[in-house]
Structure 1
C-alpha cells in the first residue's frame, strides 16, 4: 500500500471506528477541529480508494466506504518506519530517548516493565 498522509489517516480513523460509511457520514464524524469541507473529505476518500487503503461500493446514489487496511497493520507499518528512520531500526534507543527526556510517566514505566516481564516468561 502507498503511504497515507496525516489527513488521510484521520479519515481512516473514522472508518476504523465504524464502517461502511457514506461520505456524508465520514464528514459528520471527521474531527471538527480540522474544519474540513465536504469536498475535502471526498477528495481524501478518493485518494484512499486510489491507494487501495479504502474500498467503496454503490448504495443507491451514494458510495459506502470501508477500510481495506486494518488499524493494527497501519500502526505496525508506521511504527516500523519511525523506528527505522529515527533510530536505525532499533527500539531501545527510542525508549532511552523518551526516558532521558522525562517523557515517560511512572505509570508508563510500570507498563513497560510488566510488558518486558511478560515477554521474558
Structure 2
C-alpha cells in the first residue's frame, strides 16, 4: 500500500477517480469550489500525489495528463484496514459494537448488515 494521503490529496484523488486522465486545470475546475483552491494549490497536491506514486502523468504537448495508479476500492480497503488495526486491534466486531453503542447505527444500517451477513453465510 502506498504512503497515506492527506484529506486535501484525497479530494484531488476523488476527482481523478471520477474521471481521468485530466489536466491540472481540469482537476482544479472539478474540485469542490467551497475549498477555494487556486490552480497552484491543485498543482502542489498533484505533485505530492506523484511523489507518493498514487497518480501518474504523461506529457500532452505542453501540459500533463494525470491519472490514478491506485484504484479507489484498493485505497478504501487499505484505509479501512488501517483504521481497524490502529483503533480496534484489527477486528471488525469491536468497530461495529462501538458504532452501535453510540446510536450511530440506524435500523436501516442494521438491516443492511444483517442482509449482508446472511448473503455471506449462504
- In which range does the TM-score fall when normalised by the shorter chain? over 0.9
TM-score using structure 2 length: 0.97
Q: Which residue of 2 aligns with 1:27?
A: 28
Displacement of 1:3 in angstroms is 1.2
2:56 aligned with 1:92: no
State the match for 2:6 in structure 1: 5
Q: For residue 75 of structure 1, report the CA deviation from its aligned partner.
A: 0.1
SS in 2 for 1:110: helix
- Post-superposition offset of 1:61: 1.1
Gaps of at least 5 residues in structure 1 are: none
Q: TM-score, normalised by structure 1?
A: 0.98
Tell me, in whole angstroms, the C-alpha distance in 1 between the residues paired with 2:33 and 2:83.
27
Q: How many residues align?
A: 121
> Following superposition, which runs of at least 4 residues in structure 1 exceed 3 angstroms of deviation?
none
Structure 2 residue matching 1:40: 3-state secondary structure: helix
Could you tell me which runs of 5 or more consecutive residues in structure 2 were left unpaired when the two chains were aligned: none
- Rounded to whole Å, the distance in 2 between the matches of 1:26 and 1:35 is 13
